[in-house]
Amino acid sequence: MAQDLYSILGLKRNASEADIKKAYRKLARKYHPDVNPGNKDAEQKFKDISRAYEYLGNPEKRKLYDEFGEESLQAGFDADKTRQYHRWQSAADGEGGFGVGDDYSGTEFGRFHSYEDIFGDMFGFSAAGRSAGRPAKERGQDVEYTLSIDFLSALKGMKTDISLRRVRECEKCSGTGTEPGSKLIPCNVCGGSGRIKVAEGPLHFTQVCPRCGGHGRVGTPCSACGGSGQTEGTEKIRVSIPPGVDEGSRIRVAGKGGAGRAGGSPGDLYLVVHVEPHPVLSRKGSDLYMDVPVSVGEAVGGGTITIPTVDGDISLKIPSGSQNGKLLRVKGKGMADPRTKTRGDLFVRLAVRLPEGGDEEMRSAARILDRYYQGDIRKNVRL
């Protein structure tokens, strides 16, 4: 049985969005592959954590997970169809089930005309005799890739190449699984119909024949893919990282996941971003914070200093009488919000530094400064 997503993050179901993000960041740092090189258990744990955050960190996906549980995690999940099926199932249970003599072929369930439409659309099979010989299209699997980038690249955005092993449609047989030019004969499993029975009784259901893939005819298996219609190989993919991505951000690269089957569309590639810490800069939302050393004279008398920003050096005015830890705001020099494209602010935290060493002249100057304090500077320090 699959582990509950809330349990993976160590949370209860009533956890707030802030609790979810905090738990993810803590666990992601602990189990990240860069911190645990070669540790397969940690690597799997990191994947589970990232997957849990993908759904619980997204309000819409979390709502669906709370309603449907594991069902909502399946590829191609459709909430409306699932609700229709549950209503149909509840109705059937309430009436003691559908007997052999019951006729529900004309019953409508929302936009589905019968239970066959619901079953067929959700599970890929149909009532006996429907869609025979036509293989169901199957979308390829989504693929997840963890990408580590430095802080400044997250701030500015970047383009990079990644090498990824992924399943692709076999080029030799174009995904049919049959050797080109080989003679096709009726499938001996389904008798050429393309479908096989999967249930007996009053309701006869069928599914795509696993031998011929629903084509009804088979030939010599493709020598390149062994008849699967798919091959696996390493592919170099160029990806773009937008400015302002945060730790744990998920970036979708459409169509670069696993190959589909029977003409189905390929899955998507999801990049899970890990941002390396910066020695000077830190981040809160779209705002950046930077500690800048200033001298005693600059703090007391004020002045203008030069500080670096992502857009180049700028001049910053220090007000006279600035205390250690004072925050100065520089508008528009923070991170870009990936959604609104607007820039946050840069907050400069002043760190008053004393000169190193010190002789009697410096100590004498310090005693002179002490005369200007008004009363006990520690009067508010209480336990």
Q: How far apart are CA 323 and CA 377, in angstroms?
A: 13
Q: Which DSSP letter does residue 139 get?
A: P
Q: CA 204, CA 197: separation in Å to the nearest integer?
A: 7
Distances (CA, A) of 91 to 103, 104, 112, 227, 315: 14, 12, 15, 43, 72
Digits of tens for pLDDT over the chain (383 positions)? 568 899 999 999 999 999 999 999 899 889 988 788 888 888 888 888 988 898 899 888 899 889 888 878 765 667 777 776 666 556 545 544 443 334 443 344 443 434 444 444 444 444 444 444 455 567 888 888 899 999 999 999 999 998 888 777 787 887 777 788 888 888 877 888 878 776 555 555 677 777 676 777 777 888 888 777 778 778 888 999 999 999 998 999 998 888 777 677 888 999 999 999 999 999 998 999 999 999 999 999 999 999 999 889 999 999 999 999 999 999 999 998 888 888 999 999 999 998 887 788 888 888 898 888 888 888 888 88
Same domain, 259 and 296: no
CA torsion sign for 85, 90, 95, 99 is positive
Q: Residue 335 burial by CB count (10 A; 0-12/13-18/19+): exposed, middle or buried?
A: buried
Residue 8 backbone phi and psi in degrees, to 5 = -60, -40
Q: Count the domains in the chain.
A: 3
286 and 261 in one domain? no
CATH number at 366 reads: 2.60.260.20
Res 262: pLDDT: 66
Q: Please answer whether residues 219 and 168 qualify as being in contact, where contact means their C-beta atoms are separated by less than 8 angstroms.
A: no
Contact 299, 318 (CB under 8 A): yes
Q: What is the pTM of this model?
A: 0.52
- Residue 137 belongs to some domain of the structure: no
Boundaries of domain holding 13: 5-94+106-119
Residue 112: which CATH number?
A: 1.10.287.110
Collapsed DSSP state (helix, strand, coil) of residue 157: coil
Distance CA 330, CA 334 (A): 8
- Of 275, 295, 328, the one marking the end of a domain is 275
pLDDT of residue 168: 78
Query: From CA 54, how far away is CA 61, in angstroms rounded?
Result: 8
Say if 375 falls within a structural domain. Answer: no
Residue 133 forms part of a structural domain? no
Both structure tokens of 4? 């509950």
Tell whether 127 is covered by a domain.
no
* Residue at 33 is within a domain: yes
Structural domain includes residue 383: no
Please check whether residue 114 lies inside any domain of the structure.
yes
pLDDT given for residue 101 in this prediction: 37
Q: Is 229 inside a domain boundary?
A: yes
pLDDT attached to residue 10: 93
CATH number of 218's domain: 2.10.230.10
Question: Are residues 152 and 268 located together in one domain of the fold?
Answer: yes
Q: Which two tokens stand for residue 91?
A: 């109705």
According to DSSP, residue 338 is labeled T
The count of C-alpha atoms lying within 13 angstroms of the C-alpha of 371, restricted to the half-sphere facing its C-beta, is 4
Residue after which a domain boundary falls, among 275, 301, 335: 275
